[in-house]
Structure 1
Amino acid sequence: MRESFVIFAETETPPAPLEWEPHSHPLHELVWARGGTMTTRVGDRIYTVSEGEGLWLPAGQVHAGRLTANVEFHSAFFSRHRTPVAFAAPTVITMVPLLESLLRHLARTDLPSDARERAESVVFDVLQPSGQQLRLQLPGDRRIDPIAETLLNDPSDGRSLDEWAQLLGISERTITRAFRHTTGLSFAQWRRVLRVHHALALLSEGWDVRTTSEMVGYAQPSSFIAAFRTVMGTTPGSLPTTS
């Protein structure tokens, strides 16, 4: 990024799923995807960003991530010292059409300085957090971390609290209290949010609702749709379709 730029944007479309190892940038970064989803892990939180949303990452924030294949991946870098609007923590941003158009415009390197300054000022006016901050808090408690890791790898795992308690040699009450203390959710609520995170990626890859519901552990599509609505406030069928 040139020092004269407050904002510089770029785009790529990887032909295969793209994964990033943990890394950070010296600049603030806003990332978003068109035609799919992006999953980003920041410390003990996982963010799933779908069509129409982006993720703001403060300068120096270590993060890792995954992008589905054949998806337009966009990133915009913001000067650390010349950005009047900045968020201190990772924040889901509403990618309204005007914001996205402006950032695409700012990807040009031949813009006159006055035109660039005008576009940048409007970006700061429309850069707003989303009302839906979809993130999954990981427990970070060694007593229940095996549950979290198992479900992250296989969200369809349907073992009950009793079965997990027997496997781990602890009580159901201990598991319940540990989830509440570390994530603010019950075990059932936490698993539901995790399954919706996975479902968003599957749906964006073109899987239908019935197949997606089975892949994330629901025997009936109606149960999956109800869980999805509880977490997202809408149904899977209302999501933007990809071509």
Structure 2
Amino acid sequence: MVESSRGEASPGMWRRETGTVVRRSVAPPEQAAAPFVITAGFRIPRVPTEWTPHAHPLHELVWVRGGTLTSRVANQVFTVSKGHGLWMPAGVVHGGRATAGALFHDAFFAPDRTPFAFGEPKAIAMTPLLESLLTHLSRTDLDAAARARAEAVVFDVLRPAERQFALQLPNDARIDAIAEALLDDPADSRSLEEWALRLGVSDRTITRAFRQATGLSFAQWRQMLRVHRALTLLSEGFDVATASETLGYAQPSSFIAAFRRVMGTTPGAFFDMAQEGRGGVRNPVSGVGNS
């Protein structure tokens, strides 16, 4: 089933772009039914595309070029940008959204013949070698021996990214309204005190709830959310000044500093690293980079 959205919000995700096409799931390639360990393919969504929550009987690895993929798994939001992939274990319920025109790649792995097990979603370093191998495996004319050789090398080089980057949603009735408002509009600059007055609770209660639910302060969590959104904006071609304004920063320098605190590097350096296929980001500290 496919339907079109006019930009309404969806729980725990960014506001849908106008014209988003909503689909039930990502269908595995036809050859997934064949006796292959790894089956791969790619597509280019011509419009923003969202997949409603679903699960696969196979492990799935997704990555994109020229855009971003956002995936919601339980109370976590993963943002997949160039140079990175997302491993989704078989049976895990997830939804996703890809930007228009992104080159969307996916590879499916037979669980009983995959010689490792990630029990939860993992960011994967999409090195040039790994991407080339999986692109090679998307061919339908490989003989069994050539396919087996390529699959063996995939298993040798497929590794979690140095940095696991996920936005933890609170799932706490005391502060869920704050999280949903910021997902809908990351530029919302209401202070802790203003939110406390709006919700009829103390600012101390909000502070405690964010720490308990996400491990971050309110300010750190909002900063993390804005950087997730920034990855999508920058991947779509927005410049730093436009992304900064869209996310509610008074100056681009403030945005760059916040991005560095979360990601351990500047926006330009981050995307340069992705371009070079280095896949990871230095200096991870519980999801928040050092200042």
TM class by shorter-chain length? over 0.9
* Equivalent residue, structure 2, for 1:52: 83
**TM superposition score normalised by structure 1:** 0.97
Letter in 1 for 2:70: T
Select the residue among 41, 44, 48 that pairs with 1:17: 48
Match of 2:107 among 76, 87, 95: 76
Rounded Cα–Cα distance in structure 2 between residues aligned with 1:40 and 1:231: 19
Secondary structure at the residue paired with 2:261?
A: helix
Check if 1:64 corresponds to 2:95. Answer: yes
Q: Which residue of 1 aligns with 2:267?
A: 236
For 2:238, the aligned partner's letter is: W
Cα distance in 2 for partners of 1:127, 1:12 equals 22
**Equivalent residue number for residue 28 of structure 1:** 59
The corresponding residue for 1:217 is 248
2:44 matched to 1:8? Answer: no
Cα deviation for residue 2 of structure 1 reads 2.8
2:167 is the counterpart of 1:165: no
Structure 2 CA distance, aligned partners of 1:96 and 1:125?
A: 12
What CA distance in whole angstroms lies between the structure 2 residues aligned with 1:41 and 1:185?
19
Kindly report structure 1 stretches of 4+ aligned residues shifted beyond 2 Å.
Answer: none
Q: Which residue of 2 aligns with 1:123?
A: 154
User: Given the two structures, how large is their TM-score scaled by the length of structure 2?
Assistant: 0.82
User: Equivalent residues in 2 for 1:78-227 (5 A)?
Assistant: 78-227=109-258
The structural deviation recorded for 1:206 is 1.1
Whole-Å Cα distance in 1 between the matches of residues 193 and 131 of structure 2? Answer: 48
| 1:85 Cα deviation after fit | 2.0
Post-superposition Cα deviations, 1:124-161, rounded to whole Å, max 9, x if no partner, equal 00000001211000000001000000000100000000
SS of the aligned residue for 2:174 comes to coil
Three-state SS of the structure 2 residue aligned to 1:10 is strand
Per the alignment, in what secondary structure is the counterpart of residue 81 of structure 1?
helix
Structure 1: 5+ residue stretches without partners: none
Three-state SS of the structure 2 residue aligned to 1:120 is: helix
Unpaired runs of 5+ residues, structure 2, are 1-31, 276-291
Q: CA deviation at 1:18?
A: 1.1
The residue type equivalent to 1:223 in the other structure is S
Instruction: Give the % identical residues.
Output: 65
| Offset, 1:3 | 3.6
Give the number of equivalent residue pairs: 242
Residue 7 of structure 1 deviates from its aligned partner by: 0.1
CA distance in 1: counterparts of 2:169 and 2:114, whole angstroms: 31
**Alignment deviations for residues 30-88 of structure 1 (CA, whole Å, 9 cap, x no partner):** 00001111110101000011100000000011111111111100000000111002311
